[in-house]
Amino acid sequence: MVISIAVSVALLLAVLCIIRGARTPDTLESKAAELYAYCKKKGYNTDVAILVDYGRHSGRVRFFVWDFNESRPLLKSICAQGCGKGDMEGKNVFSNEIGSLCTSLGHYKIGRERTISRLGGRPAFTLVGLDATNSNAVVRGILLHPVRLPSFAIYPFPIPSKVLRISGRAVVRPYSEGCITVPSDKYRETADILHHARKPVIMWVYK
């Protein structure tokens, strides 16, 4: 009886954490309005855009495909970020430096989807940095691509590193070396939206 109660409490706490982690930030609507003004001024897509809030805990949803016409997120997801320069939970490090392995903040124009050999033949969208803070995105090979992550919020746990077996050895690798990476199923949903976009879509990465 005591064990069943403890299990029930643990499950309830887990559900509450997932629900809490899946909540959208209070600032999302105002950020979307700011991004709409940017897209309208620059002549980009004003139907849909992507906002990535790296100021949030990595276990929370922080990748949002936003519908400007409905003023709501069409999709939300957890999202990994670059591991460079000692980046860790609570100490996010961003850089535009080549070889930094960090994610760069700023506005990106989302390009065409391609099959990327260095990702094992997986699809990915090319990204063009539009600001001084992400101007090296193309040179650095920064992409929007899928990874094997849970498709739900895992808060209060952070996105972990993955362990690979290479030549018989266990090798720890991050889920991002600067790219914007989301769970595979969320990527497919996002890709479907992007494929139907009539104008170039903007992704705004901020903290």
68-103 confidence digits (pLDDT tens):
999 999 999 999 999 888 777 777 899 999 999 999
Contact residues for 189 (Cβ-Cβ < 8 A; gap 6+):
65, 75
Q: Report the CATH fold assignment for 2-206.
A: L,D-transpeptidase catalytic domain-like (2.40.440)
112-140 confidence digits (pLDDT tens):
999 988 888 899 999 999 999 999 999 99
Q: Give 6's pLDDT tier (boundaries 50, 70, 90).
A: very low
Question: Which sequence spans correspond to the domains of the chain?
Answer: 2-206
**pTM of the full structure:** 0.88
155-193 confidence digits (pLDDT tens):
999 998 765 555 666 555 678 999 999 999 999 999 999
For the chain, the first-to-last Cα distance in angstroms comes to 46
* Short-list 131, 126, 83, CA closest to 105: 131
- Burial-class residue 104 by CB neighbours within 10 Å (0-12, 13-18, 19+): buried
* Short-list 97, 96, 109, 117, CA closest to 45: 109
CA 72/CA 191 separation, integer angstroms = 18
